[in-house]
Amino acid sequence: MLEKDIIAKYFSPLSANAFGADNLNDDVAVLGNIGNGLLAINMDTLVAGTHFFANDDPTILAQKCLRVNISDLAAKGAVPFGYFLSVALPRKTTESFIESFAQGLAIDQRNFNISLLGGDTVKTAGPFTVTITILGLLQDSRVPRRGDAKLGDDIYVSGTIGDGALGLLSHPEYRGNNGISAKYSRHLSHYLCPEPRVELQPIISRYANATMDISDGLLGDLTEILKRSEMGAKLDINRIPYSQETQYILANEKNILPQILNGGDDYEVLFTAKPEHSLSIEKLSQNLPFCLTKIGTITDGRSLEIIDEHTNLNIEQFNLSHSHSW
Amino acid sequence: MLEKDIIAKYFSPLSANAFGADNLNDDVAVLGNIGNGLLAINMDTLVAGTHFFANDDPTILAQKCLRVNISDLAAKGAVPFGYFLSVALPRKTTESFIESFAQGLAIDQRNFNISLLGGDTVKTAGPFTVTITILGLLQDSRVPRRGDAKLGDDIYVSGTIGDGALGLLSHPEYRGNNGISAKYSRHLSHYLCPEPRVELQPIISRYANATMDISDGLLGDLTEILKRSEMGAKLDINRIPYSQETQYILANEKNILPQILNGGDDYEVLFTAKPEHSLSIEKLSQNLPFCLTKIGTITDGRSLEIIDEHTNLNIEQFNLSHSHSW
């Protein structure tokens, strides 16, 4: 069973009456007012051998664990303030590993102005496992959910797509067929330690309808927004933003595109907004340390239509037909 | 390294500036006002092979996972309302296991009036691992911490001591030297599915100074309260409450006492209160579905003095001298 099918079948019913849980359709629960905002909470687990490699630098790994959680809050426009940490330690864990891991936490506590609030430390016969429950504040009473895309909305994506997926393929311990000949440190760095888009908060809070962070691939996560919103989209594939390094790889290895668009670990933000906010969003985006790109439009077609006039891509590779209905 | 030493050395400094985290000296973080109370949060992880047996009934296991978290909140007088759940599933996990686990969650959601608010589902190459972050409300603005025991306080314990430890020794898959000849289903049931003492809330909120739930053994956890409070205690060992089944075992196997007093899984509440509240506490305790027993007094001696005039126990067995100073 796929994880999302387990959640839908067995865990969603357990949140049916829970205020703020959105039936687990969204990663982030939004509870009542606390202090100056609404309390937003997200929980993510990372397991050695599944979400990272057992020999990854523990300092950078600690930052990744925090950042994938911060990324979920950032996609909702919530500002993190603290977190609970559970670590399950294999018996062979050294003290220097723990020390380095704690250093990474300390670095990102300063970077993101957050504190450790509590947690648990246990032993395991299995791999190193980290669970973080992160708490943040939503300044706005409006909570942008995955299911909030409206007909005619522009579709935006932050940063560049594919750096995480190519980073995984570039990882020295990656054992699959990596399919790429050129490897760039940019990609590997992004895989090891993504940049949650906390700077998007003013834009998300004011203008976003549907939002989510891209952790399971652009196409799959866009499809998730469309399904939850009961909408379709036209996606202009030629507008999808890539880093220079990714463009170079794509120019030489076209077959890698499906992995870039379906691969995980982007941790960019995907959101929709009314076209009338286009100029305001463009203006606010001038100050961002990353680009913000309009890549398509929400339609009422209940399908994801990929516009690719200029490149004649082999769309079947994406596990999506030109008109993939639900 | 012991888990508590890891926390003290590497994780406590990360919460130095965090409001409500009490420097990780306490299991429960207490944040600001939300709705009708203060938000209290606790996070506990249970790992197959460490905290439970891999073949334990998943329905009852799910209840245990919730209850050990609820127990932490109950010790603070906080009423739980919701939780986040992370499960790391071994690849061989069957759908019927997940279904049974979810049934156990549903049963205790009804028992304790709580809902699932969010979480994560991931794969692991290791054992089944469950992390729960539970949220509750403290009705009172006073937060009873581990370090709040005052000179002259009475020391109370709820329920009976040792059922969890004897339950572990009675477990059909327990591989150590169990040291007991008689086995009782009461003990095993308590180990598999403890009873968090949520009914103590009115007493804790009104009268308790220092509190904690007993998860690592009565003597160790009392010592924890004394160290945090910079106090000592006189503990009348003949007053410690045992179930009839435990009394029978103790009558026949005196050597088992250290395991009863130092064993885990009691999930009873240990608290201290001013002697002037003694009558009020006794009156309120009449309505409880379990006993409440005064077992000692807080002193300024910075040591745990065990009073055992009637039984002439071999105190050295407890890893505590008659006057064990810190």
CATH for the B154-325 domain, from 3.40.50.2300, 3.40.50.720, 3.90.650.10, 3.30.360.10 = 3.90.650.10
Of A17, A21, A95, the CB nearest to B118: A21
Chain A CB contacts of B86 under 8 Å are 43-45, 131
Band of pLDDT at residue B324, cut at 50, 70 and 90? very low
Contact A85 B7 (CB under 8 A): no
pLDDT at A20 over 90: no
Contact A14 B115 (CB under 8 A): yes
Segment A175-221, tens digit of pLDDT: 877 778 888 999 999 999 999 999 999 999 999 999 999 999 999 99
pLDDT mean over B255-267 = 91
Share of chain B above pLDDT 90, in %: 78
Chain B CB contacts of A39 under 8 Å are 34, 39
Among the residues of chain A, which ranges form H helices? 3-6, 58-75, 95-112, 163-170, 185-192, 201-207, 218-229, 244-252, 257-262, 278-285
Give the distance from CA B177 to its chain's centroid. Answer: 24
Chain B CB contacts of A129 under 8 Å are 88, 124, 126, 129
Contact B14 A102 (CB under 8 A): yes
pLDDT at B176 over 90: no
Segment B106-136, tens digit of pLDDT: 999 999 999 999 999 999 999 999 999 999 9
pLDDT at B319 over 70: no
Q: How far apart are the C-alpha atoms of B47 and A226, rounded to whole Å?
A: 37
Chain A CB contacts of B119 under 8 Å are 11, 24, 43
In this structure, are residues A1 and B99 in contact, taking their beta carbons and an 8 Å threshold?
Answer: no
ipTM: 0.93
Q: What is the pLDDT of residue B3?
A: 87
Distance from CA of B110 to the nearest CA of A (A): 10
DSSP for B90-152 reads ETT--HHHHHHHHHHHHHHHHHHT-EEEEEEEEEESS--EEEEEEEEEESSS----TT---TT
Among the residues of B19-94, which ranges form H helices? 58-75
pLDDT mean over A284-313 = 88
Which strands make up the sheet holding B269-273, listed edge to edge? B211-213, B269-273, B154-158, B292-299, B232-236, B303-307, B323-325
pLDDT at B322 over 50: no
Higher pLDDT, B141 or B6: B6
Contact A84 B41 (CB under 8 A): yes
Segment A35-49, tens digit of pLDDT: 889 999 999 999 999
Contact B3 A27 (CB under 8 A): no
Contact B116 A20 (CB under 8 A): no
In this structure, are residues A44 and A29 in contact, taking their beta carbons and an 8 Å threshold?
Answer: no
Contact A50 B84 (CB under 8 A): no
Q: What are phi and psi of A264, to 5 degrees?
A: -95, -165
Contact A15 B116 (CB under 8 A): yes
pLDDT at B312 over 90: no
Lowest-confidence range among A20-34, A88-102, A152-166? Answer: A20-34
pLDDT mean over B210-238 = 94
In this structure, are residues A128 and A214 in contact, taking their beta carbons and an 8 Å threshold?
Answer: no
Q: What is the pLDDT of residue B23?
A: 80
pLDDT mean over B245-252 = 94
Contact B31 A115 (CB under 8 A): no
Domain extents for chain B?
3-138, 154-325
Q: How far is CA A48 from CA A57, A89, B86, B88, in A?
A: 12, 11, 15, 11
Contact A115 B88 (CB under 8 A): no
What number does CATH give the domain A3-138? Answer: 3.30.1330.10
In this structure, are residues A45 and A146 in contact, taking their beta carbons and an 8 Å threshold?
Answer: no
pLDDT at A321 over 60: no
Contact B102 A14 (CB under 8 A): yes
pLDDT mean over B275-280 = 98
With H, G, I as helix, E, B as strand and everything else as coil, classify residue A76: coil
CATH for the A146-325 domain, from 3.90.650.10, 3.30.590.20, 3.90.230.10, 3.40.50.620 = 3.90.650.10
Chain B CB contacts of A49 under 8 Å are 124-125
Of A13, A15, A43, the CB nearest to B133: A43
Give the chain B residue nearest A4 (alpha carbons): B121
Contact B117 A15 (CB under 8 A): yes
Chain B CB contacts of A119 under 8 Å are 11, 24, 43
Segment B179-205, tens digit of pLDDT: 788 889 999 999 999 999 999 999 999
DSSP for B216-266 reads S-HHHHHHHHHHHHT-EEEEEGGG----HHHHHHHHH-GGGHHHHHH-S--
Contact A17 B102 (CB under 8 A): no
Give the distance from CA B30 to its chain's centroid. Answer: 18
Q: What is the pLDDT of residue B323?
A: 43
Chain B CB contacts of A131 under 8 Å are 43, 45, 86, 120, 131
Of A115, A126, A135, the CB nearest to B126: A126
Q: How far is CA B270 from CA A9, A107, A254, B27, in A?
A: 40, 37, 65, 14
- What is this structure's pTM? 0.94
Chain A CB contacts of B65 under 8 Å are none
Of B1, B32, B88, the CB nearest to A45: B88
Rg (CA), chain B: 19
Which strands make up the sheet holding B29-34, listed edge to edge? A115-124, A78-90, A129-138, A37-47, A29-34, B29-34, B37-47, B129-138, B78-90, B115-124
pLDDT at B316 over 60: no
pLDDT at A320 over 70: no
